[in-house]
Structure 1
């Protein structure tokens, strides 16, 4: 059976730099009826395990380590016996939420993860955070962009560990070079496409984030 994308949304909080905000997060699951990977683990263990629906979880992939994306990652790992994978550049951010519990493995640029006869390619896209990653699945024409790229612009860079010029460079080099029809599935909000976002690049730069 071919791979498919399943989706749910969870609600909770995001805290950084002494401030806390209410947020809704997307959770994406890529796989078939037998096995899958989970992309981000925010807020609600029950909602995510229901989406998994008894499948074997090969890995829990963190797009980045802000607390709203990894809140229940250790609980999910314990429930599914799956490793948490995070880019090493985000370990300092991870330790703000889980100081005593490191991830099991590291993500790296160009790494291929095979799931349900489909290949997911890791794209290191720093800027929103130092270790932010996107996950490109060419067979499905989709990229999971975390908080690097949303419908309407790049992820916020006004807080610790972030850099606006770096996120713009990441988007230009790693995301806007993908085929225009590629669906962009972000960490928050609705999906978009590379083709829909590419014309707005210069407006983002003028506006700043």
Structure 2
């Protein structure tokens, strides 16, 4: 971060992997937060925002997409500030009805307290944040309805989970037999066509090596698309690690049932993986242990961070 030059009106709270980064615009114009982190970190999100804003209210909250690690703090921020909330237009009916089956929370086994919204954003909309003009762009792939935000004057891209410095988010639609690889490739091509000097990703530090990051992302996408089993296996490891980050430990003998009852994991297993739920759980546990990001302790799988 020390070598990255951000406009004075932008503050980035780098949150790690369980919670997405939060991007706070302090003015001119309404104080605005892009993405709110995961539910169990909502108090931390509030504290970070309050530390910067002081007595000034947060007037607007915007979500790039509605995965739980990007919108889990929405309800807490709304309760504290009564902030105007904008979400991707394609998610409006689901949020209005609070349909957790249509939203991603139930399918991924993750938490999100119910929140409302005041307006929507769609690709092509203009947006002003921090005294800068931004373009709202569609970024399907990781999530069909994800948005990214581009400021041409500053050559800054808020990329959500469409592009990280070393990859991108899981291509979830492919796990359920829907198209996702082609959309992710088109999103990367869209980013490649922009004049971008600085990317603020959904996870990880802001970065300026944009072309190398895109090359890594295209290579990663080629690798996954060549054999969709790789995408399925990666997704299952990611979802188990997310669970461990949230709970810190999990009973090993409970994992097969949890896998069997998780719609995303079960769909991926039936479609791509020649394993029973018990075999898949054992494989996932071994994969995390081998990678050094979890350990066995008696009958428990325990989180371990490198």
User: Structure 2: where are the runs of 5+ without partners?
Assistant: 1-6, 95-101, 225-230, 232-306
Q: Work out the number of aligned pairs and report it.
A: 196
168, 180, 184: which one aligns with 1:167: 184
Inter-CA distance 54–183: structure 2 relative to 1 (3 Å threshold):
farther
Partner Cα distance (1:168, 1:105) in 2: 29
149, 170, 186: which one aligns with 1:156: 170
Aligned to 1:185: 200
1:38 touches 1:61 (CA, 8 Å); kept in 2?
yes
Shift of 1:61: 1.0
User: Structure 1: where are the runs of 5+ without partners?
Assistant: 12-21
The alignment's C-alpha RMSD in Å is 2.8
Larger strand percent: 1
Q: Structure with the greater relative contact order (CA < 8 A, sep ≥ 6): 1 or 2?
A: 1
Inter-CA distance 199–130: structure 2 relative to 1 (3 Å threshold):
closer
2:74 touches 2:115 (CA, 8 Å); kept in 1?
no
**TM-score, normalised to structure 2's length?**
0.56
Larger helix percent: 2
Instruction: Please give the per-residue CA displacement for 1:94-120, whole angstroms capped at 9, x wherever unaligned.
Output: 675558533221111111122343112
Inter-CA distance 149–85: structure 2 relative to 1 (3 Å threshold):
same
Shift of 1:202: 4.1
Aligned to 2:145: 131
181, 186, 198: which one aligns with 2:214: 198
Compare CA radii of gyration and give the structure with the larger one: 2
Partner Cα distance (1:75, 1:139) in 2: 33
Partner Cα distance (2:85, 2:104) in 1: 11
1:10 touches 1:27 (CA, 8 Å); kept in 2?
yes
